[in-house]
Amino acid sequence: MASSPLARLAPPLFVVIWATGFIVARTVAPYADPLTFLLVRYLLALLVLGLIVLAVRAPWPRTGREWGNGLLAGALLHGCYLGGVFWSVKHGLPAGISALVAGLQPLVTGALAGPLLGERVSPRRWAGIGLGFLGAALVVAPKLGDGGVPVFPLVICVLGMLSITFGTIWQKRAGSAKDLRVNAFVQYIGAAVVTLPMVLLTEQGRMEWTLPLIGGLAWAVLGLSIGAIGLLLFLIRHGAVVGVATLLYLVPPVAAIMAFVLFGESLSLIQMAGMACAALGVAVASRS
């Protein structure tokens, strides 16, 4: 990746903003059905991005294939991934288990990047991926609990993890629209198309317009749907997908620190050791 200021700032900034998604999910959970919240988030992001694209007169995709690439990437990266994780947690999958499943993404991405993208994953990078997964597992270990794991929600969560994996690979391979704002706009159309049927089939559309919900929704649209996703698309475009995926190992540690500061959640020695291990793994995997 080019050593521009944005290239240097994008990875840590992406991790911090992406980690706030867990804080938003916890904040709005009492006031909205999760998939309904996601659908409203996508629609508002479409409105904001659409106005931006029109204002700057960014070029729209010119062919059906370009539109199709963006719609498919959006359905996988946002609709199927976030929808699957939110649905599985709502139906009884412990949050710690869902985080561990999400932590498998860099491993799966590393296994598929070679045959699908021709990216070579070096032994050093594999070592970093392994360290990162160990660190993330230690961070979420206290949240695993002793209860049974429901099979069907676990399957849905695994499918969500596979969706973001293939979505990342597809985004890198297809390239989609040249303008990142247009690219994100098209992706959210795909995400909304996938999410709408799930809302109609499984939820009541509950949205209690309280101040926490409005604040969480505003940040989810501007910070996550536009800021974090824009950074993710930038990273995918300019870097190896395995390296980008490995950054996600830093999300559980950062989210745990945020929960400690905002909600008073405890941080055990095991979790702090996991944070150090995850950071070391990402550093090893990302070293040029």
Instruction: Count the domains in the chain.
Output: 1
Digits of tens for pLDDT over the chain (288 positions)? 445 676 778 888 988 898 888 788 878 888 999 999 999 999 999 999 999 999 999 999 888 888 998 899 999 989 999 888 888 877 877 766 777 777 778 778 777 877 777 777 788 888 888 888 888 788 777 766 655 668 888 889 889 989 988 988 888 777 655 788 898 999 999 999 999 999 999 899 999 999 999 999 999 999 999 998 888 888 888 776 666 777 877 877 887 788 888 877 777 888 888 888 888 888 787 665
Q: Are 115 and 173 in contact (CB under 8 A)?
A: no
Please report the pLDDT score of residue 1 as a whole number: 46
Length of the chain: 288
What pLDDT was estimated at residue 222?
A: 95
Distance between first and last Cα of the chain: 10
Return d(Cα 115, Cα 255) in angstroms, integer. 33
Residue 32 phi/psi, 5-degree rounding, is -155, 150
Question: What are the distances in angstroms from CA 126 to CA 129, 205, 249, 286?
Answer: 5, 43, 13, 11
Burial of 123 (0-12, 13-18, 19+ CB in 10 A): exposed
Cβ-Cβ contacts under 8 Å for 5 (sequence gap 6 or more): none
Beta bridge partners of 32: 207
Two tokens, residue 253:
């540690």
Query: Which residue has 């050791």 as its token pair?
Result: 273
DSSP for 225-271 reads IIIIHHHHHHHHHHS-HHHHHHGGGGHHHHHHHHHHHHH-----HHH
User: Which of 163, 148, 26, 27 has the alpha carbon at shortest distance from 93?
Assistant: 148
Per-residue pLDDT at 95:
65
Amino acid at 42: Y
The pLDDT, as a whole number, for residue 130 is 84
Q: What is the DSSP string of 11-48?
A: HHHHHHHHHHHHHHHHHHGGGB-HHHHHHHHHHHHHHH
104/161 Cα distance (integer angstroms): 8
Domain around 23 = 5-286
